Amino acid sequence: MERRVVVTGLGAITPIGNNVKDYWEGLKAGKCGIDTITAFDVTDFKVKLAAEVKNYNPEEYLDKRSARRLDRFTQFAIIAAREAMKDSGITKENTDMERVGTFIGSGIGGLDTIEKENRVCFEKGYDKISPMYIPMVISNMAAGNVAIDLGLRGESFSIATACASATHSIGEAYRAIKHGYQDVVFTGGTEASITKTGIAGFTNIKALSQAEDKNRASIPFDKERSGFVMGEGAGVIVLEELEHAKKRGAKIYAEICGYGASSDAYHITSPAPDGEGGARAMMNAIKDANIEETEIDYINAHGTSTHLNDLCETQAIKTALKEKAKTVMVSSTKGNTGHLLGAAGAVEAIACIKAIEDDFVPPTINYKVKDEECDLDVVPNVGRNIKINYAMSNSLGFGGHNSSIIFKRYE
């Protein structure tokens, strides 16, 4: 028998807030977390802007030893997971920790440590590489260290599907609980790739905006969009089997009811023509939720602010939602946070959950120039107070990885 799955905890660290409350208030207020990069000197870089986590000192969250031995992407995951656990009220007294999984994805892993240790290698010699190098950089260590930190002894793994990593992780966590393999899963994604090679690599593949005005850099669905802005951070949500949550008296934010995934099988970076792969992921999620496309009230779009993504996602939404595409509210919160790569789907899932809880749709900020090819209701600049019963979140990754999840108001 399939089991119902609900959301009982949220945690986040983002460019517009270092916890869920501040993040959500930032979205509602239209706050932009993009600014000049401070992580390194950008004098010789074509791209000057990114969305960094602000006012971050790891030793405020972690002991000195852990802060030194954990890459930034893992630090973020632990911080978000601790907040989610506290929010959920999960303890070893009310939950069998052997039935609690950890599904946390990352698109890249410990890029900052890779850069630093490579400099050590070539400047000082191979034998000077840190013995912690490998445990710090491999992308599964976010999930592994969260499980260690919180004592989560169920299934633990990391999905790496580029910018779809977090949404795939959430979807697979939902399936694991739905089909009885786990009772609770801490799931989401984390990323910290605002580094010299990270920015240079995405610049040279012509993915990043070179705009110098932070309010015209990440502008999803705007006709003048010219690429995405790199962001960083993490989001973790607690998914839980409904009866387990009810038995321990948990607060229930929303129910997750649908998950769909697909592969473009087309190109390493470009989406399939007309967004047909993304459309299949959305249609699979709608079918899994056992609803009609007309019931979707809001879509938090992948909406990266690249020409092809926003065009193809618009076409995908039209294919998947048919006539409903003319009226469904579609916003991208990447104008606020930049693109968190493997963590994007997690913080955007939280936006969908809070939209349902607060009856509020966050806007697509800094939108000025309408694009006739992206003719959806993109909720420009000002959010809307409106009841949301079903919210969908889309993530589309390099390599043709597509994923969609659907949350609904819990009843």
Q: Enumerate the domain spans of the chain.
A: 5-247, 258-408
What is the C-alpha separation between 156 and 148, in angstroms, rounded? 10
- pLDDT given for residue 381 in this prediction: 98
pLDDT surpasses 90 at 396: yes
Active site residues: 163, 302, 339
Residue 99: other Cβ atoms inside 10 A: 19
**Reported pTM:** 0.98
The distance in angstroms from the start CA to the end CA of the chain is: 20
Candidate CATH numbers 3.40.50.300, 1.10.10.10, 1.10.150.120, 3.40.47.10; the one for domain 258-408: 3.40.47.10
Give, to the nearest 10 degrees, the angle between helix 344-358 and helix 20-29: 70
Are 401 and 162 in contact by the 8 Å Cβ rule? The answer is yes
pLDDT surpasses 80 at 1: no
pLDDT surpasses 80 at 293: yes
- pLDDT given for residue 275 in this prediction: 95
pLDDT tens per residue, range 294-344: 999 999 999 999 999 999 999 999 999 999 999 999 999 999 999 999 999
Gyration radius (Cα) of the chain, Å: 20
Q: DSSP E strands: which ranges in 312-379?
A: 329-331, 360-361
Closest C-alpha to 330, from 312, 303, 357: 303
pLDDT tens per residue, range 61-73: 999 999 999 999 9
CATH topology classification for 5-247: Peroxisomal Thiolase; Chain A, domain 1 (3.40.47)
Closest C-alpha to 33, from 368, 370, 330, 365: 365
pLDDT surpasses 90 at 285: yes
Query: Across-strand partners of 156?
Result: 102
Domains 5-247 and 258-408 in one fold: yes
- pLDDT given for residue 355 in this prediction: 98
